Amino acid sequence: MPFARWIGVETLALVLAVGGCTRDRASLEPTSAGLEARGCERLLVIGMHGVERCVPEPGPDEIHLCGVNVRRDATELRCPDLVEADDLEGVEQLERLEVLICEHRYSLADQTLERISALSHLRELRLTRGQITDRGLLSLLRLEELEVLDLASTNITDAGMATIIGLAPLTELGLRHTAVTDAGMTKLVDLGELRRLDLRGTAVTNAGLIELEHTPQLEVLELEDTTVADAGMVAVGKLSQLRTLGLRGTPVGDDGVAALAQLGRLRELDLGHTAVTDAGMATVGRLPVLEVLDLRGTQLGPAGGAELVGLTQLRELDLDGVPLGDAGARHLAALAGLVSLHVHYTGLSDAGAARLAQLSSLRRLDIGANDLTNAGMAWLARLTELRELDVSSNDLTGEGGLDHLANLRELESLGLHDTRIDGSGLVYLTGLASLRRLDLSYTRVVDRQLVHVAQLERLEWLDLMGARVTGRGLVHLRRLTRLREVLVEWQQLPARSIERLERAVPGCAVVEISSSD
């Protein structure tokens, strides 16, 4: 189809005018994104919906890369959106570049690495989800100053590890979701300076972990979604410098955790969805400087929290899906330093909320999918430092106890999804001047109640999916000049009402989502 018919002759004329183009010097060049209008004051990328990106033409000291203009003396480049391999053409001109990050770029391939190999000062390179192969890695051997390499979700195999060891002294290596196995782990003997190693989603097993003895300086080890189990933790437990350990989704149990007892410097531990039970908490509770602990989806019971009371440095705790009950909440109340707590679907009632109200330092609390009632919301009012609160899927009705939240002046995010509130209590939120995110999806909020939402001047994100809101309700939102995104169900609102809101609030997008998504 001719481009003029596809985009429309009038639209094309407008596009060129916006770009400061004239017919005698403008050109339309095909790209992976559609077309680019060049020879204009501004570079226009034109897709199926018209102008999708508009940037000035590069100046004399700039080049156009990854959809943006980059100074030739730049030391860092982060590709802002999906790009094709050709979009890195010319990257070799950035002679001072030290950091290059192009993540989730499916078409980046070996020829891209050839261009990158000219960047002699490069220290950090992250190219994820591309079509990079073992052969392409050979180009990187020219990068003598490289310290950080992340090749997650690429086509790297054990054969590529033979090239990677030639990049020593690497301090960080990311191999998440690659085809590296235990055979590749044998190459770690030549990477003794490694500080961070990401093996999530690989086929590495307990046998491969034995090779960690060659990386005694390791500080961060990610093993999420691998088959490593209790036996493999013996090798991990010898890494005395370890600060962060991720074991989520592995079959590690209480015996494996016991092998970690000597990790006295461990600050972050992820045991989510492992086989750990209350018995394993005896070891965890003696890790002296632990600050972040994830136990979501484990088999802990109400007694498991008793072993954690000695973790005086603990700042973040995730217990989502753990059957704590109100009895377990009693132990959590002793963790006075907590700033973030997730207790979604843990069997808490108003009595449990009363226990958590003692955690006066909390800034983030997810207490959704429990048995909290309007009365229980009174306990949460004591948490005056809260920035984020989610009480979704609780037994809140009518006003929903929102009157108790009126004094949470620092609150920035509030989740009320899937509650039976009717919106009458939204009037109590109008004084929350810091509120930026509000989830009212699948509530009984109606059009007239949005007049209270309209008083939240800093609101940026609003979820109205499944609420009893029509196009009339959107009229109230037109005064929210900072609003950037409103979520609604597909065909929940008339297209005309959506268009009027988007015109009234520049930069705001109403996103229609199918309930089956």
- pLDDT, one tens digit per residue, over 1-16 is 333 333 443 444 444 4
Task: Tell me the average pLDDT across 330-340.
Answer: 96
In a domain, 492, yes or no: yes
DSSP state at residue 57? P
For residue 446, what are the β-bridge partners? 468
* Per-residue confidence (pLDDT) for residue 341, from 0 to 100: 99
Among 36, 56, 76, identify where a domain stops.
Answer: 56
Note the pLDDT tens digit of each residue in 51-85: 445 567 788 899 988 777 899 999 999 886 555 54
In a domain, 277, yes or no: no
Can you say how many angstroms the Cα of residue 244 is from the centroid of all Cα atoms in its chain? Answer: 18
In a domain, 45, yes or no: yes
Q: Which residues of 7-33 are buried (b: 16+ CB within 10 A; e: fewer)?
A: beeeebeebbebbebeeeebebeeeeb
For residue 69, what are the β-bridge partners? 64
191: which residues sit within 8 A by CB, 6+ positions away?
A: 164, 165, 168, 169, 170, 173, 214, 215
Q: 420-421 and 148-150 as β-strands: parallel, antiparallel, unpaired?
A: unpaired
**E strand or H helix at 354, and its extent?**
helix 350-356
Structural domain including 501 reads: 456-517
Whether the CB-CB separation of 271 and 247 falls below 8 Å is answered with yes
Q: Is the pLDDT of residue 497 over 80?
A: yes
Which has more pLDDT, 129 or 313?
313
Whether the CB-CB separation of 68 and 80 falls below 8 Å is answered with yes
In a domain, 262, yes or no: no
Q: How far is CA 392 from CA 301, 327, 364, 439, in A?
A: 23, 22, 14, 9
Taking CB atoms within 8 Å and a gap of at least 24, the contacts of 39-47 are 40/16, 42/18, 43/19, 44/15, 44/16, 44/18, 44/19, 46/7, 46/15
Rounded-to-integer distance, Cα 312 and Cα 295, Å: 17
412: which residues sit within 8 A by CB, 6+ positions away?
A: 387, 388, 434, 435, 436, 437
* Per-residue confidence (pLDDT) for residue 144, from 0 to 100: 94
pTM of the model: 0.88
Note the pLDDT tens digit of each residue in 278-327: 999 999 999 999 999 999 999 999 998 999 999 999 999 999 999 999 99
Rounded-to-integer distance, Cα 229 and Cα 256, Å: 7
In a domain, 474, yes or no: yes
* Per-residue confidence (pLDDT) for residue 283, from 0 to 100: 97
- What confidence category does residue 103 fall into, taking pLDDT thresholds of 50, 70 and 90? confident
Q: Which residues of 281-300 are buried (b: 16+ CB within 10 A; e: fewer)?
A: bebbbebeebbbbbbbbbbb
Which has more pLDDT, 81 or 386?
386
Whether the CB-CB separation of 306 and 282 falls below 8 Å is answered with no
HEC sequence for 97-118: CCEEEECCCCCCCHHHHHHHCC
* Per-residue confidence (pLDDT) for residue 29, from 0 to 100: 54
Helix, coil or strand: residue 185 = helix
Whether the CB-CB separation of 457 and 434 falls below 8 Å is answered with no
Q: How far is CA 133 from CA 37, 61, 112, 119, 427, in A?
A: 34, 33, 11, 20, 58
* Per-residue confidence (pLDDT) for residue 88, from 0 to 100: 84
* Per-residue confidence (pLDDT) for residue 64, from 0 to 100: 83
Helix, coil or strand: residue 491 = coil
Q: Nearest-CA neighbor of 177 among 157, 196, 160, 194?
A: 157
Whether the CB-CB separation of 279 and 255 falls below 8 Å is answered with no
Q: If you average pLDDT over every residue of the chain, what do you get?
A: 89
Structure-token pair, residue 187: 């190459």
Q: What share of the chain is helix, strand, coil (3-state, %, to 5)?
A: 30, 20, 50
516: which residues sit within 8 A by CB, 6+ positions away?
A: none
44: which residues sit within 8 A by CB, 6+ positions away?
A: 15, 16, 18, 19, 36, 37, 51, 53, 54
* Per-residue confidence (pLDDT) for residue 54, from 0 to 100: 56
The number of domains in the chain is: 2
Rounded-to-integer distance, Cα 336 and Cα 262, Å: 25
Compute the half-sphere exposure of residue 178: CA atoms within 13 Å on the CB side of its CA.
31
**E strand or H helix at 389, and its extent?**
strand 388-390
In a domain, 448, yes or no: no
If you write DSSP's letter for every residue of 289-352 in order, what string do you get? Answer: T--EEE-TT----TTGGGGGTT-TT--EEE-TT---HHHHHHHHTT-TT-SEEE-TTS---HHH
Maximum CA extent, the chain: 78
Q: Nearest-CA neighbor of 356 among 337, 323, 379?
A: 379
In a domain, 317, yes or no: no
Which has more pLDDT, 23 or 164?
164
